[in-house]
């Protein structure tokens, strides 16, 4: 179901003040300890003391319903990978090193003492995970973990770990070899909500938008060059929007940064607004309206940019309608200067909420989308390309176990190519799981009637020849997919071939007869229960 929203864009001047509130230290901050060993794992005996009450980092005026059963078909990618067998406390996040492809997943443990935020790493595209680092708080809580892998101007890669430590927003950053550790405080004020973003490529910045406690939901933003200067240019971005604004932040290359949030001051109903910077967060434009007055409440924004400064952008939100919530979005094709309503995603049998979006770190920056679906606490996946930002794949359920339902799943990428999802399952005692589209069929050939599939030439411009070898007489199907898993073209549909070597050709057109855009495509051959896949790269 697609519901189209017209967009009205205008500028409103908002009073703001600039200040500098930052703290940098190469030592451990007071009350924080860390070790190279994993923290103690929750035991079931802890349940009697702590109960099963888990607070969510997502502020919501409307409750998230935990239905406890599923009406969605089991159309998931493959068997989910267990990342962590202990109890996740309030959220999870993951990011990828654009140079090595290593994945870093962060989560909090919700311990009664020595509460921790833990990072696990995968060096094989998510197939297995090992402990990498833990940060402990001996005096209280550590909640709402987020993580970004960023390179500074010296080409040094930093794994940037964010968390609320007794409600103080802090970042700990380390290189992948853990040869050093730096703690930096974003603000000395208690924080009730925040989001992070980062540049891609050498000379990237890390960015944070946050709401200080007791400020009336004022929205602030700060930046960090990861060069030892700490968090700087703390800037009051928007004064009390009159509602939980759920600010979210995203950065493209070339200094383009955007903060999206909900505003309830200027109209009868909620609206989505944005403030933008074109100089790496040094200064900010006046706020602009993204959504028109639709007459329904919004919540939980998420923003993402493709990597070109004047490229594609998306803003997702939970759209509260009767009989159930829906995930809807707006998109921009000029770096966030103007926005158009894209409609709703899914239209399933129940509530859709808590969207998570992330673009892949290679150009042009295609989008991976995950969101929660009730009934059933389903983690749903969809995706779109930067060249066609409204052509989302039909949502599919990708989780094997019922998700938490209290905080969002995390969308992302593996191997610079494949969409992925990280989520926490409440039915599996809040264990952490990972799955990705590569886990479905982008694997080496399995035993059966097919031995190989190749593309020659590769890269190609207009035409490529697909060579394959079969050993049996089972029907063969050959299809081309884009990197979000959307079917582009069926070249061979359940046709029988004699044993031996064969070739077919693909001319770079989709099933509607239109030329496809340059990029990475996946050729999948299926026969006799075996699957083989080959990457194809089209250039112009």
Q: What pLDDT score was predicted for residue 438?
A: 61
Query: What is the C-alpha to C-alpha distance for residues 299 and 406, in angstroms, rounded to an integer?
Result: 14
Tens-place pLDDT, residues 76-97: 677 889 999 888 988 999 999 9
pLDDT at 168: 92
Percent of the chain with pLDDT over 90: 36
Average pLDDT, the chain: 79
Which positions ≥6 away from 331 have C-beta within 8 Å? 312, 313, 314, 315, 339, 340, 342, 389, 390
pLDDT the model gives residue 8: 25
pLDDT higher than 70, residue 442: no
Separation of alpha carbons 32 and 46, rounded Å: 23
Q: At residue 27, does pLDDT exceed 80?
A: no
Confidence at residue 498, expressed as pLDDT on a 0 to 100 scale? 84
pLDDT at 121: 96
Asked if residue 217 lies in contact with residue 241, where contact means CB atoms within 8 angstroms, the answer is yes
CA dihedral 263, 268, 271, 274 (to 10 degrees): -50
Torsion, CA 75, CA 80, CA 85, CA 86, rounded to 10: -50
Domain 450-538: which topology?
Immunoglobulin-like (2.60.40)
Grade residue 67 by pLDDT with cuts at 50, 70 and 90: very low
Under the banding of pLDDT at 50, 70 and 90, the label for residue 16 is very low
Q: Hey, what are 231's tokens?
A: 């968090």
Cβ atoms of residues 217 and 240 within 8 Å = yes
Torsion angle of C-alpha atoms 391, 397, 403, 405, degrees rounded to 10 = 50
pLDDT at 256: 92
Residue 3 has pLDDT above 70, yes or no: no
For residues 290 and 272, the answer to whether their CB atoms sit within 8 Å is yes
Q: How far apart are CA 167 and CA 146, in angstroms?
A: 14
The answer to whether 436 and 483 are in contact (CB under 8 A) is: no
H or E element at residue 522: strand 519-527
The model's pLDDT over 232-260, given as tens digits with 9 standing for 90+, comes to: 999 999 998 888 888 999 998 888 999 99
> Where is mean pLDDT largest: 292-296, 412-416, 433-437?
433-437
Q: Does the bond joining 41 to the residue before it have cis omega, within 30 degrees of 0? A: no
Give percent of the chain above pLDDT 70. Answer: 79
Q: Where are the domains of the chain?
A: 11-49+76-441, 450-538
- Total length of the chain: 540
Separation CA 37–CA 155 (nearest Å):
29
Closest CA to 362 of 98, 97, 540: 98
Which has more pLDDT, 484 or 333? 333
pLDDT at 191 exceeding the cut of 90: yes
- Mean pLDDT lowest among 41-55, 304-318, 452-466, 514-528: 41-55
Q: Which helix (H) or strand (E) holds 359?
A: strand 352-359
Q: Which of 143-152, 422-431, 528-537 has the lowest mean pLDDT?
A: 528-537
Read off the pLDDT band of 173 (50, 70, 90): very high
CATH architecture of 11-49+76-441: 6 Propeller (2.120)
Q: What is the 3-state secondary structure (H, E, C) of 130-147?
A: EEEEEEEECCCCEEEEEE
Q: CB under 8 Å to 140, separation ≥6 — which residues?
A: 31, 115, 165, 166
- Phi, psi (rounded to 5 degrees) for 254: 80, 10
Asked if 418 contacts 442 with a C-beta cutoff of 8 angstroms, the reply is yes
Residue 358 banded pLDDT, cuts 50, 70, 90: very high
Tokens describing residue 487: 């079917």
User: What integer is the mean pLDDT of 302-320?
Assistant: 88
Taking 70 as the threshold, does the pLDDT of residue 360 lie above it? yes
Tell me what pLDDT residue 338 has.
Answer: 92
**Per-residue 3-state assignment (H helix, E strand, C coil) for 255-301:** HCEEEEEEECCCCCCCEEEEEEECCCCCCCCCEEECCCCCCCCEEEE
Query: Strand 326-332 vs strand 340-345: parallel, antiparallel, or unpaired?
Result: antiparallel
Lowest mean pLDDT among 6-20, 127-141, 151-165, 178-192: 6-20
Residue 62 is predicted with a pLDDT of 35
pLDDT digits (tens, 9 = 90+) for 35-57: 333 333 333 233 333 332 333 33
What backbone phi and psi angles, to 5 degrees, belong to 188? -80, -15
């Amino acid at each position: 179901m697609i519901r189209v929203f017209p967009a009205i864009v205008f500028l409103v001047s908002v009073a703001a003040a600039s200040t500098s509130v930052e703290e940098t230290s190469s030592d451990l901050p007071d009350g924080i300890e860390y070790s190279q060993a994993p923290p103690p794992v929750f035991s079931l005996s802890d349940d009697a003391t702590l109960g099963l009450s888990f607070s969510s980092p997502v502020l919501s005026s409307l409750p998230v319903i935990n239905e406890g059963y599923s009406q969605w078909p089991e159309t998931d990618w493959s068997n989910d990978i267990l990342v962590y067998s202990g109890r996740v406390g309030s959220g999870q996040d993951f990011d990828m090193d654009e140079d090595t492809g290593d994945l870093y997943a962060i989560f909090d443990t919700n311990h009664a003492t020595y509460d921790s935020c833990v990072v696990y790493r995968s060096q094989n595209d998510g197939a297995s995970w090992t402990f990498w680092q833990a940060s402990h708080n001996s005096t209280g809580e550590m909640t709402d973990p987020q993580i970004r892998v960023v390179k500074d101007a010296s080409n040094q890669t930093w794994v940037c770990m964010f968390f609320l430590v007794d409600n103080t927003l802090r970042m700990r950053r380390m290189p992948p070899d853990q040869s050093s550790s730096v703690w930096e405080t974003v603000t000395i004020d208690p924080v009730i909500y925040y989001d992070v973003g980062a540049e891609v490529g050498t000379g990237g910045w890390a960015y944070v938008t946050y709401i200080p406690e007791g400020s009336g939901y004022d929205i602030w933003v700060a930046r960090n060059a990861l060069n030892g200067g700490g968090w700087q240019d703390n800037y009051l971005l928007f004064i009390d929007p009159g509602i939980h604004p759920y600010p979210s932040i995203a950065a493209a290359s070339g200094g383009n940064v955007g903060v999206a949030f909900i505003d309830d001051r200027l109209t009868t109903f909620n609206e989505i607004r944005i403030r933008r910077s074109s100089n790496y967060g040094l200064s900010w434009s006046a706020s602009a309206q993204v959504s028109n007055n639709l007459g329904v409440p919004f919540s939980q924004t998420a923003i993402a940019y493709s990597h070109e400064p004047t490229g594609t952008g998306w803003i997702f939100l939970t759209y509260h309608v009767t009989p159930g919530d829906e995930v809807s979005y707006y998109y921009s094709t000029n770096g966030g200067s103007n926005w158009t309503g894209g409609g709703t995603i899914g239209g399933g049998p129940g509530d859709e909420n808590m969207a998570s979006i992330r673009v892949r770190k290679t150009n042009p920056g295609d989008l991976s989308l995950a969101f929660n679906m009730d009934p059933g606490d389903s983690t749903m996946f969809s995706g779109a390309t930067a060249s066609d930002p409204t052509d989302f794949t039909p949502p599919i359920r990708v989780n094997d176990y019922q998700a938490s339902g209290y905080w969002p799943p995390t969308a992302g990428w593996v191997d610079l190519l494949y969409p992925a999802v990280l989520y926490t399952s409440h039915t599996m005692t809040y264990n952490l799981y990972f799955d990705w589209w590569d886990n479905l069929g982008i694997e080496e050939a399995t035993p059966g009637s097919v031995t190989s599939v190749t593309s020659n030439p590769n890269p190609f411009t207009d035409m490529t020849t697909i060579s394959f070898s079969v050993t049996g007489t089972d029907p063969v199907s050959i299809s081309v997919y884009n990197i979000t898993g959307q079917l582009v073209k069926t070249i061979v549909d359940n046709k029988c071939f004699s044993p031996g070597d064969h070739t077919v050709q693909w001319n770079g057109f989709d099933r509607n007869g239109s030329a496809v855009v340059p990029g990475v495509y996946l050729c999948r051959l299926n026969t006799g229960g075996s699957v083989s896949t080959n990457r194809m790269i089209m250039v112009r």
